Chains A and B, each alone.
Chain A
Amino acid sequence: NAGVTQTPKFQVLKTGQSMTLQCAQDMNHNSMYWYRQDPGMGLRLIYYSASEGTTDKGEVPNGYNVSRLNKREFSLRLESAAPSQTSVYFCASTPRTGTNTEAFFGQGTRLTVV
């Protein structure tokens, strides 16, 4: 089983460029999440989708947009990249809503904005 798959694994952008990070899960999970990981700050939630057709802001949503394309796919878009968005981005999914359960993470996308 692939689990949660993220593409690309690495990306370098120039300031002001845009890009979309892709995430797909094959576990039939309802909820999906985007986190960013920065040294000394743990992982912080950017956006999440509790179920297909819904999206909500997390802790650090500024500068990002998301699309829940279908139950499997949840993309993260940077419209105008800034150096402060240099980070490692993780997509995650959980089986169901309304209860706390294990989150499954992808392998991450390392993004550098120069």
Chain B
Amino acid sequence: QQQVKQSPQSLIVQKGGISIINCAYENTAFDYFPWYQQFPGKGPALLIAIRPDVSEKKEGRFTISFNKSAKQFSLHIMDSQPGDSATYFCAASTQETSGSRLTFGEGTQLTVNP
């Protein structure tokens, strides 16, 4: 059972447009919500992360919006560029003594057309 559900599976936007990827989670014990970016042939790399005590976090063109009551969070990419074309994964984890195990969403393949 997928504890973190991600949509859409794929997304095509034009250069300069806004890309929006959504995630929903079930486990209310999750307290850390990162987004990872993966280019073909590479491993995922941390893009941006948020904790549930804030509703929004912005880093450059990338923004996470977090809705704790709805158990949803989303990634917004403003002024999308062809170089943003990649697969994006949302994830969640709980703080525990045995390390930071991540539960990932299914992934979204983003294509930004020039």
Residues of A within 8 A of B (CB): 4, 30-31, 33, 35, 40-45, 48-51, 56, 58-59, 90, 92, 94, 97-103, 105-108
Q: Which of B14-22, B38-46, B58-66, B72-80 makes up part of the contact surface?
A: B38-46
In contact, A100 and B98 (Cβ under 8 angstroms): no
Known: A56-B98, A100-B95, A103-B100. A42 touches B45 (CB 8 A): no
Give the bracket for the number of chain B residues in contact with chain A: 20 to 34
Q: Does B104 contact A (CB under 8 A)?
A: yes
Which secondary structure characterizes the binding site on chain B? Answer: loop
The 8 Å CB contact of B100, one of A35, A40, A59, A100, is A100
Residues of B within 8 A of A (CB): 2, 4, 6, 9, 31-32, 34, 41-46, 49, 89, 93-107
Inter-chain contacts of A99 with B (CB < 8 A):
95, 100
Least distance between A99 CB and chain B CB atoms (Å): 6
In contact, B104 and A44 (Cβ under 8 angstroms): yes
In contact, A43 and B46 (Cβ under 8 angstroms): no
Given contacts A92-B43, A100-B93, 18 further A-B contacts (CB under 8 A): A4-B43, A31-B99, A41-B2, A42-B2, A42-B4, A42-B89, A43-B44, A45-B101, A45-B102, A45-B103, A50-B98, A94-B100, A97-B99, A98-B95, A100-B95, A103-B44, A103-B102, A105-B44
